[in-house]
């Protein structure tokens, strides 16, 4: 089973990298860009098939290591 | 009366910290490997600068989960002195021994330069040898030194005298120009500037001498 | 025999850059056609990058011995004696092609590679420098290349924790299609604990350590030996990715292993990876080597033998151990969480034999790879001699206006935007780094009172105008920079960046530049102990300006005596040492103010150079001077302005009675220094210079807060500083 963790800056937290990306896109002529947030994706291969159990464990992984909840939000999606 | 410097894989200011403690506090200094689970009997634990675990995931995140950190937390809880410099500060926030987080510099670039600092609280074990509200200069060298905390936390830090060093010219976007803070109890300090690089006139700066003099006094 | 499966054809050999003669030698030596793995090995070992086939016979002209030399060229890096049982180990290397294709990773892995060359020999790296050449600021790619290269150098060096203390950055349209990224590293070792690459003795285990092997950089060495064309950008996947965290652990683990008695020989896996490291160790040790490729730690699946042998995955080392030391060595690497595997042993067969999935996939004699390596005497033509430009034909101009333009010209403007991204102070022994108002970077030898001075130098416009004089000048300027920092120059490394050696005019540049370097190194007792050659720096038939970069190292016995140009004080007299004729040919002034890139470059009288340098050294040692600066780009006025800005004190320079303002203030006659001394010391100093046979003249004073050139309008220090500092950040932020 595969878990995909999306981590992004919490709303309200300044994201200078996202701002730089948005700025660069606008400079390149992509005028429709209003803003950008830059985060990261972590793909986990897991040796467990119980989706609910996996979700709980990955939630813990996020809280304990993968995300810093002072500045980051995370979401988890599970793929078979 | 001793000090310990913790060595993580990727620490690179551990030797500099050991030398500065050795030369300017006249204490014996132990190096402690991150996989160890106990500390020798020490008054001060120093988490040095560097790129522990390559700064992969987030600066300091993986080091904060290494075995020795439980012992460091226990030492802090007992009232022992803890100093985190640069990557060490990042590790202390990741360990939640200090509030807030250190994000990418607002300019997005690594910055290595001398920075004028204001001493906001000279009544700490780390700053007693400085003039209260005086200025000094200590170099920074970091990519992720942009201090962030929510407004309530920042207000609390201000109100409780936990902001110890402030940048005179904010180089990295830190909230309220914060360069260094303590915990509420006042025995744990994190700071982005490198006092261990500012103790020798030959290398150019001496703004860190008072820092080590303060530590020597606190450990006496 | 399985080796004979899948024999290679001449067409395949050609596609890998081998010519008909080289193919013929392979057939003769093997008595058969090579298979694909063997062909891959021959092609990289005989690439220009690994075999130096166009340059070898000319490099021999360089002096490589001297009282301080412990080990000259031929090992991973050069080794010199710095006293007290210590050695300095250093080298410079190019990473030009990879940095153009992927600037961040190209530059980062260049830094990683040069550090490995140094710690492979037992030294802890203590300083990094880099010499960068970019295209015109107006070229659409330049900004992104500067940004990526600088971030890559910083990203790697900062993380490993070795200070980046110096270097140089030039911009010129001649590098539009081929930037140069040359990285230099210095390390310090105990003289009785230096490690070499000769794997003497059969039956010794071969240990692989570091990162896993992937498909990175396959045929990187071949790519560095070919011209760019429009399809080169499609070669992006071959660029390697650096991991400084692994490098840092590799340094610590290797230095720890070196404290034990486990190592027979050690090599880093650089260009041509496992192939060149294993063959060089076996060849130098006079042994054969058997490797089991199934044991090589692999990052990807289904890797073929040729992919494993040619991979340029970074942060890997190959070590030949004393028998019985396997577990002791493995334990150290495991503690540092590095991959480690025993992958083979040395043999007495003289052959390289490779096993893969139960088959022998390569069996070639090792000696011919070296002995029969191509060694070409490429045809060359002498470069044309350019006319000497008479200063009287250049309009004298307004020197104040010219100075203001020069201080903000791309080559002269402050590079603070670059060096503030480098950790210059980690290890806490940096005494002078970029921005430290010194002609050379100065790093203390840890826990001693000695220091090493280091500088990288080349003036490509001189080399282009006259390769022989330009080659001499690169060496002399480097020597001068070390002298001006208070050091005794010791030895150099070089990084020779040129175009396509198959073109006689380019080969002529190469040959004559080496002749000039050799003459200067000999005259100044400044031997070459290591180096690197980067050819084929051409795009669509246009070659870079010839750029032989010299990286010099000197010793300062008493670190407190390190000299710079920031110590002048108001009231000091400025004395110019050395002869001034007002040479404007090939000068920065002629290019930037007159828009002319013409004329013969300034010649160098090496005997006079030496005399003047020795006098400066004596004056510094005698504590007689406040500040010293060598004169280079932009001549007297620019040197005095540097001194004024760094000392935060204005300067008044007198005009010349005989030369025009342009010639006097901006001429680039060589072998000159500007020194600041107390006025009371002037007479004695002029006498001392006369006795030493050195021209000396009071040319101005330190006073006020302006730079004043003769009768021209005064320029406020604040204005000069602002123009000097603003050009690069404004350029980089103008996205």
Please write the tens of the pLDDT for every residue from B51-91. 999 999 899 999 999 999 999 999 999 999 999 999 999 99
Q: Distance (Å, rounded) from C-alpha C469 to C-alpha C451?
A: 31
Query: Minimal CA–CA distance to B214: which of B21, B16, B19?
Result: B21
Q: Are C119 and C112 in contact (CB under 8 A)?
A: no
Query: Minimal CA–CA distance to C556: which of C435, C478, C427, C444?
Result: C444
Q: Are B134 and B127 in contact (CB under 8 A)?
A: no
Q: Are C271 and C49 in contact (CB under 8 A)?
A: yes
Where would I find the H helices in C572-709? 588-592, 606-621, 635-647, 661-666, 682-692
Burial of C482 (0-12, 13-18, 19+ CB in 10 A): buried
Mean pLDDT of the region A49-67:
93
pLDDT at C218: 76
> Which of A16, A17, A65 is opposite residue B61, by nearest beta carbon?
A65
pLDDT at C239: 67
In three-state form (DSSP H/G/I as H, E/B as E, the rest C), the secondary structure along C424-447 is: CCCCCCEEECCCCCCCCEEEECCC
Inspect the interface and report whether the beta carbons of A13 and B58 lie closer than 8 Å.
no
Q: Distance (Å, rounded) from C-alpha A38 to C-alpha C223?
A: 35
Residues in B closer than 8 angstroms to A68, CB to CB, are: 58, 61, 94, 101
Angle at C483 between CA C477 and CA C487, to 5 degrees: 135
Residues in C closer than 8 angstroms to A23, CB to CB, are: 735
Q: Which of B75, B120, B194, B205 is catalytic?
A: B194
Angle at B41 between CA C333 and CA A65, to 5 degrees: 55
pLDDT at C191: 97
In terms of CA atoms, which chain B residue is nearest residue C417?
B111
Q: What are the angstrom distances between the C-alpha of C648 and each of C124, C383, C641?
A: 37, 44, 10
Shortest distance, CA B109 to any CA of chain A (angstroms):
10
pLDDT at A69 over 50: yes
Active site residue B94: no
> Which of B9, B16, B51 is opposite residue C427, by nearest beta carbon?
B16
Q: What are the angstrom distances between the C-alpha of C453 and each of C125, C129, C235, C432?
A: 15, 12, 39, 9
Residue B140, beta-bridge partner list: B113
Shortest distance, CA A58 to any CA of chain B (angstroms):
16
Instruction: Tell me the count of B-C CB pairs closer than 8 A.
Output: 84
> Which of A65, A66, A68 is opposite residue B101, by nearest beta carbon?
A68
Q: Which 8-state DSSP code applies to residue A37? A: -
Q: Are C173 and C141 in contact (CB under 8 A)?
A: no
Residues in B closer than 8 angstroms to C434, CB to CB, are: none
pLDDT at C233: 47
Categorise residue C24: left if φ over 0, alpha if ψ from -120 to 50, beta otherwise: alpha
Q: Are C476 and C601 in contact (CB under 8 A)?
A: no
Q: What are the angstrom distances between the C-alpha of C705 and each of C569, C571, C652, C708?
A: 12, 12, 10, 9
Inspect the interface and report whether the beta carbons of B101 and A17 lie closer than 8 Å.
no
Inspect the interface and report whether the beta carbons of C426 and B13 lie closer than 8 Å.
yes
Angle at C399 between CA C396 and CA C404, to 5 degrees: 140
Query: Minimal CA–CA distance to C424: which of C158, C650, C638, C97?
Result: C158
Q: Distance (Å, rounded) from C-alpha C100 to C-alpha B187?
A: 50
Joined together, the tokens standing for residue C188 give 């310090």
Q: Are C344 and C289 in contact (CB under 8 A)?
A: yes
Shortest distance, CA C258 to any CA of chain B (angstroms):
19
Name which of B55, B90, B148 to mutate to probe chain A: the one with the most chain A Cβ atoms within 10 A of its Cβ.
B148
Query: Minimal CA–CA distance to C554: which of C639, C617, C510, C501?
Result: C617
Predicted TM-score (pTM) of the model is 0.94
Q: Distance (Å, rounded) from C-alpha C434 to C-alpha C412?
A: 14
Residue C698, beta-bridge partner list: C575
Active site residue B86: yes
pLDDT tens-place values along chain B, 220 residues long = 699 999 999 999 999 999 999 999 977 999 999 999 999 999 999 999 999 999 998 999 999 999 999 999 999 999 999 999 999 999 999 999 999 999 999 999 999 999 999 999 999 999 999 999 999 999 999 999 999 999 999 999 999 999 999 999 999 999 999 999 999 999 999 999 999 999 999 998 999 999 999 999 998 7
Where would I find the H helices in C46-131? 48-51, 56-59, 96-101, 103-119
Inspect the interface and report whether the beta carbons of B108 and A66 lie closer than 8 Å.
no
In terms of CA atoms, which chain C residue is nearest residue B205?
C431
The yes/no answer to whether this complex scores an ipTM above 0.90 is yes
Q: Which chains touch C (3 or more CB pairs under 8 A)?
A: A, B
CA C13 to chain centre: 32
> Which of B10, B112, B202 is opposite residue C425, by nearest beta carbon?
B112
> Which of C245, C424, C425 is opposite residue B56, by nearest beta carbon?
C245
Residues in chain C where the model's pLDDT stays below 50: 1, 233-237
B window 100-119, beta carbon within 8 A of C: 109-113
Query: Minimal CA–CA distance to B90: which of B36, B52, B43, B138?
Result: B52
CB-CB neighbours of C409 under 10 Å: 20
Beta carbons within 8 Å of C468's beta carbon, 6+ residues apart: C383, C512, C513, C515, C516
Exposure string (b/e) for C4-40, b if CB count within 10 Å is 16 or more?
A: eeeebeeebbeebbbeeebbebbeebbeebbbbbbbb
Inspect the interface and report whether the beta carbons of B139 and C426 lie closer than 8 Å.
no
| Segments making up each domain of chain B, as ranges | 2-219
Residues in A closer than 8 angstroms to C735, CB to CB, are: 23-24, 27
Instruction: Tell me the count of A-C CB pairs closer than 8 A.
Output: 3
Inspect the interface and report whether the beta carbons of A71 and B173 lie closer than 8 Å.
no
Inspect the interface and report whether the beta carbons of A68 and B100 lie closer than 8 Å.
no
Q: Distance (Å, rounded) from C-alpha C131 to C-alpha C165?
A: 12
Q: Distance (Å, rounded) from C-alpha C163 to C-alpha C34?
A: 46
Sheet holding B44-47, edge to edge: B28-33, B2-7, B44-47, B81-85, B188-191, B178-182, B163-167, B111-119, B135-142
Q: Which of B86, B120, B142, B205 is catalytic?
A: B86
Query: Minimal CA–CA distance to C251: which of C205, C348, C185?
Result: C185
Residues in C closer than 8 angstroms to A27, CB to CB, are: 735
Q: Distance (Å, rounded) from C-alpha C233 to C-alpha C239?
A: 11
CB-CB neighbours of C271 under 10 Å: 23
Shortest distance, CA B108 to any CA of chain A (angstroms):
7
Q: Which chains touch B (3 or more CB pairs under 8 A)?
A: A, C
Where would I find the H helices in chain B? 14-25, 61-64, 68-77, 87-94, 151-159, 209-219
Residues in B closer than 8 angstroms to C248, CB to CB, are: 9-10, 12, 51
The beta-carbon contacts of C59-65 under 8 Å, at least 24 apart in sequence, are C59/C514, C59/C531, C59/C533, C61/C514, C61/C515, C61/C518, C62/C494, C62/C514, C62/C517, C62/C518, C62/C521, C62/C527, C62/C528, C63/C518, C63/C521, C63/C522, C63/C527, C63/C528, C64/C527, C64/C528, C64/C529, C65/C527
Task: Tell me the CATH number for domain B2-219.
Answer: 3.40.50.880
Q: Does A20 touch chain C (CB under 8 A)?
A: no
> Which of B94, B107, B108 is opposite residue A68, by nearest beta carbon?
B94
Delineate the domains of chain A, giving CATH numbers in brackets: 2-79 (3.30.1280.10)
Q: Which 8-state DSSP code applies to residue C360? A: E
Where would I find the H helices in C485-605? 504-523, 588-592
Residue B136, beta-bridge partner list: B117
Q: Distance (Å, rounded) from C-alpha C299 to C-alpha C296?
A: 10
Query: Minimal CA–CA distance to C671: which of C583, C573, C585?
Result: C583
pLDDT at C236: 42
SS3 A61: helix
Q: Distance (Å, rounded) from C-alpha A35 to C-alpha B137?
A: 37
Q: Distance (Å, rounded) from C-alpha C344 to C-alpha C202?
A: 11
Residues in A closer than 8 angstroms to B58, CB to CB, are: 68
Exposure string (b/e) for A20-48, b if CB count within 10 Å is 16 or more?
A: bbbeeeeeeeeeeeeebbebeebebeeee
Query: Minimal CA–CA distance to C315: which of C214, C244, C259?
Result: C244
SS3 C87: strand
Q: Distance (Å, rounded) from C-alpha C406 to C-alpha C404?
A: 6
Residue C453, beta-bridge partner list: C442, C554
Q: Are C194 and C89 in contact (CB under 8 A)?
A: yes
Sheet holding A2-9, edge to edge: A40-45, A2-9, A72-79
Q: What number of residues does chain A have?
A: 80
Q: Does B94 touch chain A (CB under 8 A)?
A: yes
Q: Are C111 and C421 in contact (CB under 8 A)?
A: no
Residues in B closer than 8 angstroms to C337, CB to CB, are: 9
Give, for C406, the enclosing helix (H) or strand (E). helix C399-407
Shortest distance, CA B62 to any CA of chain A (angstroms):
7
SS3 C19: coil
Q: Does B9 touch chain C (CB under 8 A)?
A: yes
């Amino acid at each position: 089973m595969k878990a995909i963790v999306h981590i992004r800056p919490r709303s309200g937290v300044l994201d200078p990298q996202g701002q730089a990306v948005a700025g660069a896109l606008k400079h390149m002529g992509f005028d429709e860009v209003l803003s950008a947030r830059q985060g990261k994706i972590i793909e986990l291969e897991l040796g467990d098939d119980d989706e609910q159990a996996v979700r709980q464990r990955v939630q813990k992984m996020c809280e304990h290591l993968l995300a810093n909840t002072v500045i980051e939000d995370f979401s988890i999606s599970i793929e078979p | 009366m001793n000090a310990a410097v913790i060595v993580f894989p990727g620490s690179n200011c551990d030797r500099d910290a050991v030398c500065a403690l050795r030369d300017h506090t006249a204490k014996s200094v132990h190096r402690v490997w991150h996989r160890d689970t106990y500390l020798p009997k020490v008054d001060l634990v120093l988490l040095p600068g560097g790129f522990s675990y390559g700064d992969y995931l987030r600066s300091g995140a993986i080091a904060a989960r290494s075995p020795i950190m439980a012992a460091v937390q226990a030492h802090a809880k007992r009232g022992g002195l803890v100093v985190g410099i640069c990557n060490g500060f990042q590790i202390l926030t990741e360990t939640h021994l200090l509030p807030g987080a250190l994000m990418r510099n607002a300019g997005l670039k690594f910055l290595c330069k001398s920075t004028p600092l204001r001493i906001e609280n000279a009544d700490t074990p780390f700053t007693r040898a400085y003039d209260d509200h005086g200025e000094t200069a200590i170099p920074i060298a970091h990519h992720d030194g942009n201090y962030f905390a929510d407004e309530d936390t920042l207000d609390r830090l201000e109100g409780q005298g936990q902001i110890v060093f402030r940048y005179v010219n904010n180089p990295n976007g830190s909230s309220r120009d914060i360069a260094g803070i303590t915990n509420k109890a006042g025995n744990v300090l994190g700071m982005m500037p490198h006092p261990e690089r500012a103790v020798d006139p030959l290398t150019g700066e001496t703004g860190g001498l008072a820092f080590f003099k303060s530590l020597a006094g606190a450990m006496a | 025999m399985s080796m004979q499966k899948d024999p290679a054809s001449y067409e395949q050999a050609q596609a890998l850059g081998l010519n008909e003669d080289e193919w013929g030698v392979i057939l003769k030596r093997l008595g058969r056609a090579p298979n694909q793995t063997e062909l891959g090995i021959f092609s990289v070992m005989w690439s220009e990058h690994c075999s130096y086939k166009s340059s070898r016979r000319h490099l021999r002209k360089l002096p490589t011995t001297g009282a301080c030399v412990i080990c000259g060229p031929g090992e991973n890096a050069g080794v010199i004696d710095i006293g007290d049982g210590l050695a300095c180990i250093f080298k410079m290397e190019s990473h030009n092609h990879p940095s153009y294709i992927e600037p961040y990773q190209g530059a980062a892995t260049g830094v990683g590679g040069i550090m490995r060359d140094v710690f492979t020999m037992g030294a802890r790296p203590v300083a990094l420098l880099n010499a960068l050449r970019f295209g015109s600021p107006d070229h659409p790619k330049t900004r992104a290349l500067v940004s990526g290269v600088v971030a890559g150098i910083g990203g790697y060096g900062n993380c490993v924790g070795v200070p980046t203390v110096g270097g140089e950055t030039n911009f010129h349209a001649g590098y539009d299609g081929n930037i140069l990224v040359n990285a230099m590293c210095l390390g310090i070792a105990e003289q009785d604990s230096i490690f070499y690459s000769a794997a003497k003795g059969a039956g010794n285990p071969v240990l692989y350590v570091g990162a896993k092997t992937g498909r990175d950089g396959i045929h990187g060495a071949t790519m560095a030996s070919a011209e760019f064309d429009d399809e080169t950008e499609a070669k992006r996947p071959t660029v390697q990715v650096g991991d400084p965290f692994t490098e840092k652990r590799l340094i610590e683990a290797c230095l720890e292993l070196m404290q034990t008695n486990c190592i027979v020989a050690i090599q880093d896996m650089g260009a041509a990876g496992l192939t060149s490291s294993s063959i060089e160790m076996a060849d130098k040790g006079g042994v054969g080597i058997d490797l089991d490729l199934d044991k090589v730690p692999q990052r990807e699946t289904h890797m073929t033998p040729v992919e494993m042998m040619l991979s340029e995955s970074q942060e890997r080392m190959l070590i030949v151990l004393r028998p019985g030391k396997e577990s002791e060595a493995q334990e150290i690497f495991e503690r540092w969480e590095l991959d480690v595997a025993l992958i083979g042993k040395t043999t007495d067969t003289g052959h390289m034999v490779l096993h893969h999935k139960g088959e022998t996939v390569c069996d070639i004699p090792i000696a011919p790879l070296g002995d029969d390596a191509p060694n070409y005497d490429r045809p060359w033509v002498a470069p044309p001699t350019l006319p000497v430009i008479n200063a009287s034909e250049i309009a004298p101009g307004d020197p104040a206006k010219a100075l203001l333009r020069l201080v903000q010209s791309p080559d002269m403007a402050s590079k603070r935007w670059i060096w503030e991204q480098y950790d210059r102070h980690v290890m806490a022994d940096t005494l002078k780094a970029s921005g430290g108002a010194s002609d050379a970077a100065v790093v203390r030898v840890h826990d001693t009172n000695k220091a090493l001075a280091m500088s990288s130098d080349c003036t490509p416009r001189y080399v282009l105008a006259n390769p022989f004089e330009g080659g001499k000048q690169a060496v002399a300027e480097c020597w001068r920079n070390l002298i001006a920092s208070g050091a005794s120059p010791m030895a150099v490394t070089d990084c020779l960046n040129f175009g396509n050696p198959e073109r006689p005019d380019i080969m002529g540049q190469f040959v004559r530049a080496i002749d000039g370097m050799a003459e200067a190194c000999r005259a100044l007792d400044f031997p070459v102990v290591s180096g690197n050659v980067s050819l084929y720096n051409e795009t669509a038939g246009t070659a870079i300006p010839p750029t032989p970069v010299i990286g010099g190292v000197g010793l300062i016995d008493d670190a407190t005596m390190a000299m710079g140009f920031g110590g002048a004080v108001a009231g000091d007299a400025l004395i110019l040492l050395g002869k001034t004729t007002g040479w404007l040919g090939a000068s920065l002034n002629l290019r930037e103010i007159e828009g002319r890139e013409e004329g013969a470059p300034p010649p160098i009288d090496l005997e006079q150079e030496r005399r003047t340098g020795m006098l400066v050294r004596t004056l510094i040692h005698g504590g007689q001077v406040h500040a010293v600066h060598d004169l280079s780009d932009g001549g007297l006025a620019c040197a005095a302005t540097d001194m004024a800005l760094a000392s935060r004190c204005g300067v008044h320079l007198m005009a010349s009675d005989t030369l025009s303002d342009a010639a006097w203030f901006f001429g680039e006659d060589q072998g000159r220094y500007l020194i600041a001394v107390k006025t009371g010391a002037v007479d004695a100093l002029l006498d001392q210079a006369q006795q030493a046979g050195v021209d000396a003249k009071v040319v101005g004073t330190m006073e006020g807060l302006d730079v004043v050139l003769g009768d021209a309008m005064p320029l406020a220090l604040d204005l000069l500083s602002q123009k000097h500092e603003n050009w690069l950040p404004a350029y980089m932020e103008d996205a």
